[in-house]
Amino acid sequence: MAQFKYIARNTAGRTIEGVIEAPAQKSASDKLRSQRFTVTSLSEIKTGEDILARINPFKPGVKSKDLVIFSRQLATLVSAGVPIVQGLNILTDQIQSVVFKQIITAIRTDIESGIGIADSMKKHPKAFSELYVSMIRAGETGGVLDAILERLSTYLESAEELRGKVKGAMVYPLVICGVASVVTLFLLIAVIPTFKNVFASFGGELPLPTRILLSFSDFLRHQFLFLAIIPVGLYILLKQWYKTEKGVETIDRLLIHLPAFGDLLTKVAVSKFTRTLGTLIKSGVPILQALDTVAKTSGNKVVEMAIMKARESIREGEKIADPLKLSGIFPPMVIQMVSVGEETGNLEIMLSKIADFYDQEVDTAVKAMTSLIEPVIICVMGVVIGAIVICMFLPIFKMSSMIDAH
């Protein structure tokens, strides 16, 4: 039971302050009104546990996979005629995540106290995105919550599959690079110094490549902590800069124009934009509200700016295709299909077809990138390890030639 601090006026016009217990803010407001109070201020009192939970960086969040499973199960229950509160009650017992279970319990309590489903979900932005809330609100308003939940489940499953493909493309090269880096550092820090004493016993001057490698190895061993702090510091600075308006725009624009990887990000952005917008329009969300939601959930500032320009264009009575074309981000095929969709009045169908096409394009791009990165990394690793081995064997070759000459 939560506690709420209130300021209200009684029937005599006197201002009264106090604290009231209630399961939700609406319940607290109704309770005060039943006592013939006019509420002027009502806010929840945050306890020490609430504050610590909010600032705790290790607090587990809600996984996208859990949300996908929950949405599909809830859609099935609602389609079968199960009341929403009863459905949430059934799902609460099946949810494994403690955090997600608490959120669903809080939503169920809010709904029981008279708060709308969308409004109760909006209180938990870490679990339910603006897109999710917008679609639920459209279904709630139109009385087609079962159809919206079904559509939302399908969308989330497609988005999760797309996210998995992109993660798969990222994880493999990162693991290979990580292993290659660890092996190289191990050779430079732990193995090469053991040869230094051996070479010193030979006498004479070492070859230049060997001297450079030994000096680099000494530098790494003595300055390792300092060198390890540099990337951490750069990461923190970059992260802070990314929080600024200029920083996020610059980095997002740079990512989109990266060779090979930028093409993949563009395809992912197009697929996400078209599928999200198509799903919202098909669910009955007004086009301006849908574009606003899509822009905020695009994940890329450059794409967001292009979508917002399209939104302003529609507000002024123009078409959506023209500002998308001027952005330079969306491929010509997307512009043409969106334009045809606008002309024929089947925009959501065209958007869905574009999304399906670009999902396949992402799959193809991921496979191509993975097959390309693997030999490149192996070649680079071979060159680095080979250069180290050659530098270590040069003194031995030199000593052998001196013995032969003698």
The span from the CA of 92 to the CA of 71, in Å, is: 12
Of 55, 199, 193, 74, nearest to 128 by C-alpha is 74
Phi and psi torsions of 93, nearest 5°: -70, -20
- Please report the pLDDT score of residue 43 as a whole number: 78
111, 88 Cβ separation under 8 angstroms: yes
Q: What is the dihedral of CA 242, 160, 262, 351, to 10 degrees?
A: -110
The span from the CA of 91 to the CA of 107, in Å, is: 12
Phi and psi torsions of 22, nearest 5°: -165, 155
- Burial code (b: 16+ CB inside 10 Å, e: under 16) for 48-69 equals eeeeeeeeeeeeeebeeebbbb
Q: How many residues can be counted in the chain?
A: 406
- Please report the pLDDT score of residue 58 as a whole number: 45
* Helix (H), strand (E), coil (C) string for 211-233: HHHHHHHHHHHHCHHHHHHHHHH
Can you say whether residue 100 is alpha, beta or left, with left for phi > 0 and alpha for psi between -120 and 50 degrees? alpha
The span from the CA of 373 to the CA of 163, in Å, is: 19
Q: CA-CA distances (angstroms) from residue 360 to 136, 151, 166, 270, 402?
A: 28, 20, 12, 12, 63
- Please report the pLDDT score of residue 24 as a whole number: 67
The span from the CA of 390 to the CA of 65, in Å, is: 49
The span from the CA of 3 to the CA of 27, in Å, is: 11
Give me 283's structure tokens.
């669910």
Encode the chain (406 residues) as per-residue pLDDT tens digits.
567 788 888 887 788 888 887 766 777 777 888 888 888 778 777 655 444 444 444 455 678 888 888 888 888 888 888 888 888 888 888 888 888 888 998 898 888 888 888 888 888 888 888 888 888 888 887 777 888 888 888 888 887 887 777 777 677 777 878 888 888 888 888 888 887 777 777 666 778 888 888 888 888 888 877 877 888 888 899 888 888 888 888 888 888 888 777 888 888 888 888 888 888 888 788 888 888 888 877 778 888 888 888 888 888 877 888 878 877 778 888 888 888 888 888 888 888 888 888 888 887 887 777 777 778 878 888 888 888 888 888 877 766 664 554 4
135, 151 Cβ separation under 8 angstroms: yes
β-pairing verdict for 15-22 and 38-44: unpaired
Beta bridge partners of 2: 22
What's the gap between Cα 54 and its chain centre?
20
The span from the CA of 194 to the CA of 197, in Å, is: 6
Does pTM surpass 0.85? no
Phi and psi torsions of 331, nearest 5°: -65, 155
The CA R_g of the chain, rounded to the nearest whole Å, is: 30
Helical packing angle, 84-94 and 64-79, nearest 10°:
140
Helical packing angle, 261-282 and 287-296, nearest 10°:
150
295, 304 Cβ separation under 8 angstroms: yes
Residue 242, helix vs strand vs coil: helix
Give me 257's structure tokens.
């124009």
